[in-house]
Structure 1
Amino acid sequence: MSDVLARLEALRGDDLPTHGGRTLAYVYDSGLADADAIGRTALASFGATNGLDPTAFPSLTAMERDLVAFARPLFHAPEASVGTVTSGGTESVLLAVQTARDAHPEIGRPAMVVPTSAHGAFHKAAHYFGVEPVAVDVDPVTMRAVPEAMTAAMDAHAGRVVLVAASTPSYAHGVIDPVGPIAAAAAERGVRCHVDACIGGWVLPWSDVAQPWDFAVPGVTSLSADLHKYAYTPKGVSLLLHRDAALRRPQFFASADWPGYTMLNATMQSTRSGGPLAAAWAVTQHIGAEGYRTLVATTLDATRALAEAVRSTEHLRLAAEPDASLLAVACDDALDVFTLSDEMGERGWFVQPQMAFRGLPATLHLTVCAATAGGVDDFVVALRDSVAAAVAAGPVQVAPELRAAAAQLDPATLDDAAFDGLLQLAGLGGEGGAVAVPKRMAPVNALLDAAPPRLREALLIAFLDRLTR
């Protein structure tokens, strides 16, 4: 057994750190060792249980009810509201879209209206469920959804829109969409309104938010909030709440059209381990509302300190003023965010580069958590040293002819050999058709940034395909 565990530990050698607050995307660290220990114990204790049949493991149903009961007052949900534990924010969004679609089987070509800043999970849901995404540009200064434009899109697709969405906050820019007017416009038209609070749902209830953003807004019909983010529970657990049971009913799936047990599911999954659910229950019970209040205060203090450091650093600016615990950092022409990201990585900090989109600049994404607070001073030193190094190196240049060629390529016409060639050109190709991930990603990211979105998607799919062969 010790040999197997040693091999597991060796496999972790190249992974990003999950604790210590230096990975500012993907992971969330409360800094509370006791909460981590309780979560791991519960995860292991319930790992063999199965959420497929709620009558076989009633403990899981009881814990799910408790988590929904914990969340209901945080989100100003009415007593009639109901909730489901899912595997994560993407599944919660998928279910919200699927439920809205299935509530209107009479609509042959359903559509949903979302801001361009909405999480990619909405586009995944559109792809899976055949719901056309009508993406509406956000305000280029505030990065928030524009209610008038969202309303106009609803009217332009009248009779087809089954769902409207708003983010609280958006992942890319960390700002809260104006939920009130968006939900009101949806309600006037008899359309469901989903609030994607996957990343902000366990922060905003304990912060000073100027405008209502949750079920306190009358037109909001559903809301998603991840527990494996700022509730600091092991992955993967999210909550999807509906205002009442009738709104949720189309979410359920049942099938008796085979000779086995009647399949009955509340989520996308059938078999699902009870481990993450039990871990979420244990961690939220352990930390409690007051514990989360303290963690949120620590997190927001750190966010404000980092935001001020960005404002006071030459060549950098905030892409938008943050509403919660996320920052988007842009830079001037003296450097590029992709080189800056590499330089921060060299100094032990992972920050996530984000590509330019529809006139919005490329940025660095920072997810700040409670454990980041103790390292703010070190982060600022590393950031300023990284800016100096990136300015000295200069922005990564993509040859104009390469940009022009990328703009003309149709990924639908490319075969495997062509993708292998493109991966080599992008710096992701290895020997014999394999792929290789370079230590410094700035040239790769700059080329991907120059590629049109469809080509970028196709290239990364080709990369993932080869990486997993």
Structure 2
Amino acid sequence: MSPETALPESGRPAADVLAELARLRAGDLPVRGGRVTAYVYDTGRDAVHDLAATAHRELLEVNCLDPTAFPSIVALERSIVAAVAVRLGGTPATPGVFTSGGTESIMLAVKAARDARPVEGRPQLVLPATAHPAFRKAAHYLGLEVVTIPVDPDTFRADPEATRAALTPRTVLVVCSAPSYPHGVLDPVEKFAALAAEAGILCHVDACVGGWVLPWMTDRAVPPFDLSVPGVTSLSCDLHKYGYAPKGASVVLFADEALRRHAYYASAEWPGYTVINSTVQSSRSAGPLAAAWATLRALGADGYRDLTAAAMAAADRLRAGIADIPGLRVLGDPSVPLVAVTSDDPGLDVFVLADQARTRGWFFQPQLTYQGLPANLHFTLTGVTDVEALLAALADSAKAAREAGPPDVPSDLIDALATLDLTAVTDADFAALLTSVGVDLNSEATPEMAFVNTVLNALPPTTRESLLIRFLSVLYSTPA
């Protein structure tokens, strides 16, 4: 990319800029219509999306850095936190923070736990194998040690007794999920909260994906999972998932004000303006805050009940339909509109199936094996998902995948990657390695990832992480 391409010498007309943006977006997955079963959440209500976009634009340039300069952000955040809290076991006075997403909400919960309960030595974070990697990221950034506990291999729920055995004087936070993202199942929150309280340890419920769908299941039995459960001290809930707000919207709730204060950060150690932050970020646009507020008000409780019922109906139909596709089965008993599908047929590779589905206009999210839990495809469903079309594509893709067979991955390649010294490999060398295994980052064709996913699936997690970091580095590097 030349300097002239990156920044034109003279400003260009708006129509030209938007046309170029449209060209760049041409290869993106669609964000509406339900054919992408991860990453995006669609209400199917254009007026709600348009309202959120307008509200976002109204506060686009408002800076959340200083709430005394822009009091609107205080009013909006109070309103959102109260609305979430009263549905999740709290009251309008329950303390919370509006954040940019589940990772930031989790980061603040971990920071609050670390600072609220100082321990001798390195503090520990105890979490299930199915807990979101955001907890590991928070531990990495904040200097905690992660202690991983197993989940039941059939139900995929975390094991309370294994958690109890893992507690030490250095444990500052116990984590459970409502639900876990990979399989959509609820951990036994009451048992986790009780054992944490008994040990005098804080307990966080990760309800990022389920927190704004579980409260609206009026016709289904939902086990207690929120702040109403004794011993739950914090909870995260993403509004840009089943709250259907644009990206950049999450809430972390705390059981008391003192714990929330430990999530804050202040610094007076410089001669500039006084720094006080409620989130990890400092300067940030209030656009997502306004968009989330507008979405909540536009949909209301009735809207969320309707959207949840439609999403759950889609999930029920998908689960029933998968039973009719030879070689495929659902993992666990999901409690929300998340479904994980695996194959017990050696001739039916789920990674090849995902590639076949991509050529048919569908995106099914691959999930790798971990601690004996099988590789699978993840489906996040909403009410706009055309399940009959999805099932047809799934069956057709499964047939094609069985005919194609699993990828032929040389064992010596796995061995070579497992022992490869990545510190001695430049980004250019790694790009050449990717090309040699069929991954062309400059190609505009639909990527075929079955070979790559099969390779990653055969490697230990630490090697996967190293390879993925190098992949990201190459992806964002400007070609010479």
Change in 2 beyond 3 A, CA 1:360/1:425: farther
Partners of 1:117 and 1:106 in 2: CA distance: 26
Partners of 2:438 and 2:380 in 1: CA distance: 28
Match of 1:377 among 376, 388, 397: 388
**Which residue does 1:315 correspond to in 2?**
327
Give the drift of 1:108: 2.5
**Which residue does 2:25 correspond to in 1?**
12
**Which residue does 1:398 correspond to in 2?**
409
Partners of 2:178 and 2:198 in 1: CA distance: 22
Change in 2 beyond 3 A, CA 1:361/1:39: same
Matched, 1:219 2:265: no
Give 1:348's aligned amino acid. G
Partners of 1:429 and 1:3 in 2: CA distance: 29
SS at match of 1:224: strand
Partners of 1:314 and 1:244 in 2: CA distance: 51
Match of 1:459 among 455, 467, 479: 467
SS at match of 1:371: coil
Match of 2:336 among 324, 333, 340: 324
Partners of 1:429 and 1:324 in 2: CA distance: 37
Give the drift of 1:435: 9.1
SS at match of 2:139: helix
**Which residue does 2:5 correspond to in 1?**
none
Cα displacement string for residues 262-309 of structure 1 (whole angstroms, at most 9, x for unaligned residues): 100000011110000000000100100111001000000001001111
Give 1:447's aligned amino acid. V
SS at match of 1:171: coil
Cα displacement string for residues 332-383 of structure 1 (whole angstroms, at most 9, x for unaligned residues): 21211111101111111111001111111100010001221xx111111111
Give the drift of 1:420: 4.7
Partners of 1:206 and 1:285 in 2: CA distance: 16
**Which residue does 1:296 correspond to in 2?**
308
Give the drift of 1:437: 8.1
Match of 1:75 among 88, 91, 94: 88
Change in 2 beyond 3 A, CA 1:441/1:411: same
SS at match of 2:384: helix
**Which residue does 1:264 correspond to in 2?**
276
Match of 2:370 among 357, 369, 374: 357
Give 1:57's aligned amino acid. F
Partners of 2:281 and 2:132 in 1: CA distance: 21
Match of 1:111 among 116, 119, 124: 124
**Which residue does 2:209 correspond to in 1?**
199
Partners of 1:408 and 1:270 in 2: CA distance: 41
Indicate the larger mover: 445-454 or 84-93. 445-454
Partners of 1:222 and 1:370 in 2: CA distance: 29
CA contact (8 A) 1:233 1:279 kept: yes
Give the drift of 1:404: 3.3
Partners of 2:350 and 2:151 in 1: CA distance: 22
Cα displacement string for residues 97-156 of structure 1 (whole angstroms, at most 9, x for unaligned residues): 1111111334321001000000010111111011111011110000110111111111xx
Partners of 1:453 and 1:435 in 2: CA distance: 28
Partners of 1:408 and 1:5 in 2: CA distance: 46
Partners of 1:411 and 1:183 in 2: CA distance: 42
CA contact (8 A) 2:83 2:92 kept: no
Gaps of 5+ in 1: none
CA contact (8 A) 1:435 1:466 kept: no
Partners of 1:19 and 1:435 in 2: CA distance: 25
CA contact (8 A) 1:409 1:455 kept: no
**Which residue does 1:142 correspond to in 2?**
155
**Which residue does 2:49 correspond to in 1?**
36
Cα displacement string for residues 398-442 of structure 1 (whole angstroms, at most 9, x for unaligned residues): 222223334444656766576456434543366xxx899862111
Give the drift of 1:210: 3.6
SS at match of 1:320: coil
Indicate the larger mover: 407-416 or 214-223. 407-416
Change in 2 beyond 3 A, CA 1:70/1:47: same
CA contact (8 A) 2:314 2:381 kept: yes
Q: Aligned residue pairs: how many?
A: 461
Give 1:261's aligned amino acid. Y
CA contact (8 A) 2:119 2:169 kept: no
CA contact (8 A) 1:83 1:242 kept: yes
Partners of 1:218 and 1:410 in 2: CA distance: 49
CA contact (8 A) 1:428 1:438 kept: no
CA contact (8 A) 2:439 2:447 kept: no
Matched, 1:445 2:453: yes
Change in 2 beyond 3 A, CA 1:438/1:350: closer
Partners of 1:119 and 1:345 in 2: CA distance: 26
Q: How does 1:111-130 map to 2 (within 5 A)?
A: 111-130=124-143
CA contact (8 A) 2:359 2:446 kept: no
Partners of 1:407 and 1:232 in 2: CA distance: 41
Give 1:13's aligned amino acid. A
Partners of 1:354 and 1:210 in 2: CA distance: 26
CA contact (8 A) 1:423 1:459 kept: no
Gaps of 5+ in 2: 1-13
Cα displacement string for residues 170-207 of structure 1 (whole angstroms, at most 9, x for unaligned residues): 11111110001111000111111000000001100011
CA contact (8 A) 1:335 1:395 kept: yes
**Which residue does 2:15 correspond to in 1?**
2
Match of 1:84 among 81, 97, 111: 97
Change in 2 beyond 3 A, CA 1:94/1:160: same
Match of 2:318 among 298, 303, 306: 306
Give 1:318's aligned amino acid. V
Give the drift of 1:4: 1.2
**Which residue does 1:53 correspond to in 2?**
66
**Which residue does 2:292 correspond to in 1?**
280
Match of 1:21 among 14, 34, 43: 34
TM-score computed with the length of structure 1 as normaliser = 0.95
TM-score computed with the length of structure 2 as normaliser = 0.93
CA contact (8 A) 1:435 1:467 kept: no
